[in-house]
């Protein structure tokens, strides 16, 4: 099951909950790009990257030692054995994740890894190009979105809960910049797959979003769902 969409649309929360409801594995591909972004940040790299820096990032993606553990609702991410779950959510790393994802060589390496992982486990996979590039033949494809204002507010509220200083205006500007970069990059731009179901979460709760996804899955298949957890 492929779930794509822009930052702040609620696709991660929906994907995690959907995986739990269906008792299938969950893979957050965005965390893999964030991990490369974190390595870039720790190396002091600043966008735009020169040829040598791009080569370094490609190497980092190829040898990425990343591991996921725990319940999808509270999944932990380890990088080289170090728990980096919180570090991956910092504003700096979020920006770098979008910037490194525009590098074709980095995408190529991480797509390879994503296919390897999902080939073994299946389940719910979420990201920006899952239904269009990584798994174009996925059985179910969803594109989860919301207005930029709603997504900026969600991100702003998240940062405030974590005690990160930011203004709503800066968060919205960053959101628009990231949307433009993700949707206009030459390699694997973020666009809905032609056969994806588009779900606008602007005025929906998480429960309503997951309910809609489950209803579509039930409607289109004979998939037997286990009792809800």
Q: What are the residue ranges spanned by the domains of the chain?
A: 2-212
pLDDT of residue 225: 58
> SS3 string of the chain?
CEEECCCCCCHHHHHHHHHHHHCCCEEEHHHHHHHHHHHHHHCCCCCCCCHHHHHHHHHHHHCCCEEEECCHHHCEEEECCEECCCHHHCHHHHHHHHHHCCCHHHHHHHHHHHHHHHHHHCCEEEECCHHHHHCCCCCCEEEEECCHHHHHHHHHHHHHHCCCCCCHHHHHHHHHHHHHHHHHCCCCCCCCCCCCEEEECCCCCHHHHHHHHHHHHHHHCCCCCCCCC
pTM: 0.91
pLDDT of residue 121: 87
Q: What average pLDDT does the segment 84-97 reach?
A: 94
pLDDT at 12 over 60: yes
pLDDT tens, residue by residue, 55-85: 999 999 999 999 999 999 999 999 999 999 9
pLDDT of residue 221: 78
CATH code for the structural domain at 2-212: 3.40.50.300
pLDDT tens, residue by residue, 13-63: 999 999 999 999 999 999 999 999 999 999 999 999 999 999 999 999 999
pLDDT of residue 224: 53
Q: What average pLDDT does the segment 207-222 reach?
A: 92
pLDDT at 229 over 60: no
pLDDT tens, residue by residue, 176-210: 999 999 999 999 999 999 999 999 999 999 999 99
Mean pLDDT of all residues belonging to the chain = 94
Residue 68 and residue 16 in contact, taking contact as beta carbons nearer than 8 Å? no
């Amino acid at each position: 099951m492929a779930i794509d969409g822009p930052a702040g649309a609620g696709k991660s929360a929906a994907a995690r909950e959907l995986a739990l409801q269906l008792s299938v594995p969950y893979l957050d591909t965005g965390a893999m790009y964030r991990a490369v972004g974190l390595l870039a940040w720790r190396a002091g790299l600043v966008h735009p990257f020169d040829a040598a820096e791009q080569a370094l990032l490609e190497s980092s993606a190829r040898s990425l030692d990343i591991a996921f553990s725990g319940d999808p609702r509270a999944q932990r991410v380890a990088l080289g054995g170090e728990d980096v779950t919180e570090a991956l959510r910092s504003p700096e790393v979020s920006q770098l994740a979008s910037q490194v994802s525009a590098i074709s060589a980095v995408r190529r390496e991480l797509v390879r890894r994503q296919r390897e992982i999902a080939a073994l486990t299946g389940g719910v996979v979420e990201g920006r190009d899952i239904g269009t590039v990584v798994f174009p033949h996925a059985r179910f494809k969803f594109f989860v979105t919301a207005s930029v204002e709603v997504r900026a507010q969600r991100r702003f509220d998240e940062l405030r809960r974590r005690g990160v200083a930011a203004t709503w205006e800066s968060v919205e500007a960053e959101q628009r910049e990231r949307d433009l970069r993700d949707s206009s990059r030459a390699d694997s731009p973020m666009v809905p797959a032609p056969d994806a179901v588009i779900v606008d979460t602007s005025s929906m709760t998480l429960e309503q979003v997951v309910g809609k996804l489950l209803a579509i899955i039930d409607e289109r298949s004979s998939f037997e769902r286990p009792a809800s957890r």
